[in-house]
Amino acid sequence: MQQTRVAQGTAYFLRFLEKYPTVKNLAEAPIDEVMKLWEGLGYYSRARNLHLAAKQIVAEFNSKLPDNYTELLKIKGIGPYTAAAISSICFNERRAVVDGNVYRVLARIYGIDTPINSSAGIKIFNELASKLIKNCSNPGDYNQAMMEFGALQCVPKNPNCADCIFRNSCLAYATGTVPKLPVKIKAKPLKNRYLNYYIFQDADKIAIQKRTVNDIWAGLYQFPLLETEEAPNVDTSDQLITEPVKHILSHQRLHVFFWNSEESKVKPHENCIWVDVKELYQFPFPIVIKRFIDSNLLHL
């Protein structure tokens, strides 16, 4: 839920619980099955980490999730934010959760203009949050209240300050700087990448391959790929199957092309497998490829 809307994530959560009612069930599941169940959520490294974490909990913690912040940090994929959330909400440990909502609330109430994505800012906000929760009797409720307050009341744009319980003590409100806080260093421009996928078919069989490189979509499947430095010239002997697709990731802008391979010089790689077209739905694909399959292949 850290990067996904609750409305979108809930259905996945319920399907995961039904498929894997225990951590042991998840640990014993094939990774391709886990990735398929995650398909469409994005941030696929979290699915891989979830699977590895389950294996680790079974092997090192006797299938029981650790009940404290320090031990939780040892679990694959669990960082300070998640460890603080679990330890406070589930085990009543005084560990402050600092997410985007909390950054915004603290920056405005205390008038802090240090960028929240700078080393100095991260230190300042974490120390302040830890100080505030130090004497709290219900740290789990407190953390959830802070996050909810930022999500519902102290919203990024046009918050209803006139009806805010902190109106008389909020420095940003007093100084007219609410719209300017929190401060965030601008991200670098998105990197453009050009991904050319080639559709090789032999009767009812189609060539796919698993992404194993340390890059986006690792562990998911794709069609034979040729990545180019620039956008390809679409006026070639090869034919585009669909219009080019733009797909935005957190730091990258992908330009995706699906080519008919009949006259292509590109050949299937050695690591390709040939599967029945009707069985493509069994494999986990990035959402941009899944949409292409759903629209152009599975209906054939």
Rounded average pLDDT over 207-236: 87
Between 187 and 255, where is the model more confident?
Answer: 255
237 pLDDT exceeds 60?
no
* pLDDT classification of 266: cutoffs 50, 70, 90: low
Return the CATH number of 100-180, one of 1.10.40.50, 3.40.50.1110, 1.10.1670.10, 3.30.70.20. 1.10.1670.10
> What is the C-alpha to C-alpha distance for residues 27 and 69, in angstroms, rounded to an integer?
22
Least confident residue range of 37-46, 238-247, 258-267: 258-267
For residue 300, the model assigns a pLDDT of 46
For residue 240, the model assigns a pLDDT of 79
For residue 145, the model assigns a pLDDT of 96
Give residue limits of the domains in the chain.
6-91, 100-180, 191-296
Q: Which helix or strand (DSSP H or E) is residue 47 part of?
A: helix 44-60
Q: What CATH code is assigned to 191-296?
A: 3.90.79.10
What confidence tens digit (pLDDT) does each residue in 35-72 have?
Answer: 999 988 888 888 999 999 999 999 999 999 999 999 99
Average pLDDT over the chain reads 90
For residue 267, the model assigns a pLDDT of 67
Helix, strand or coil, per DSSP, at residue 68? coil
Helix, strand or coil, per DSSP, at residue 269? coil
What confidence tens digit (pLDDT) does each residue in 169-217 have?
Answer: 999 999 999 999 999 998 888 999 999 999 988 888 899 999 888 889 9
Q: What CATH code is assigned to 6-91?
A: 1.10.340.30
20 pLDDT exceeds 80?
yes
> What is the model's pTM?
0.70
Q: Tell me the percentage of the chain whose pLDDT exceeds 90.
A: 71
> What is the C-alpha to C-alpha distance for residues 209 and 268, in angstroms, rounded to an integer?
9
Q: Which of 154, 226, 149 is nearest to 195 (CA)?
A: 226
42, amino acid identity: G
Asked if 109 and 102 touch (Cβ cutoff 8 Å), the reply is no
